[in-house]
Amino acid sequence: MRFDVSDFEGSKTEFDGQAAGYKRVMWVVIAINAAMFVVEASVSVLAESMALQADALDFFGDTATYGISLYVIGSSIRVRASAALIKGLGLGALGLWVLGSTVYRVFVLGQPEPLIMGGIGALAFAANIASAILLMRFREGDANVRSVWLCSRNDAIGNLAVIAAASGVWVTATAWPDLIVAGVIAGLFLHSASAIVRDAREELQTARNQL
């Protein structure tokens, strides 16, 4: 039987991920993100790009948070909301780390390699677009499910920014486009973290009110 989130329309219960189709998609998306973390983390060192390093961290964070999301499917609303809260706080921590690393690079490091940046940025964009397409029909649901969609959507935007940064580095022969995009990616981390934490806190409050 084919599953679709529309099966839940008209129901007062939010989709919580308990469907074989959703779980299969999650395993595929986790594999894509884990592979891209290894590739991008390795190449970011060679390219000396903060934007690529920030994007690699994003893939790492997504791999971990998607794994948590998959693990807590079927648990109580309190457990799922608590997992979403942890994911949101972790994403916020990554955002702050990227901001700090970017400030450090402004003062001590040199210009990244634009061709490598652009090539890996394009590969990362393709990976995240594939993930977003797979997750699109599951974008509505509880905080745990929504957090997965938010991460994939924002990642694709961040990848376009990395490609733009590579072009900027090539045109200007400076590191500033790379640093600016790293800051933008950090901002996306923090924005998504805020949304995930807000949703999780609301669901935790709902769970407490039901006791």
Domains in the chain: ranges and CATH: 18-209 (1.20.1510)
Look up residue 105 and give its DSSP letter. Answer: H
Cβ-proximal residues to 83 (8 Å cutoff; 6+ apart), any chain: 68, 69, 71, 72, 75, 144
Q: What pLDDT does 39 receive?
A: 92
Alpha helix locations (H) across the chain? 20-47, 50-71, 77-108, 114-135, 143-172, 176-209
Mean pLDDT for the chain overall: 79
Cα 152 to Cα 30: distance, rounded to the nearest angstrom: 11
Residues 88-109 have pLDDT tens digits of: 888 888 888 878 777 766 666 5
Cα 113 to Cα 91: distance, rounded to the nearest angstrom: 27
If pLDDT is split at 50, 70 and 90, which confidence band does 183 have?
confident
Higher pLDDT, 59 or 158: 59
Closest CA to 109 of 47, 158, 54: 47
Cα atoms in the 13 Å half-sphere on the side-chain side of 199: 24
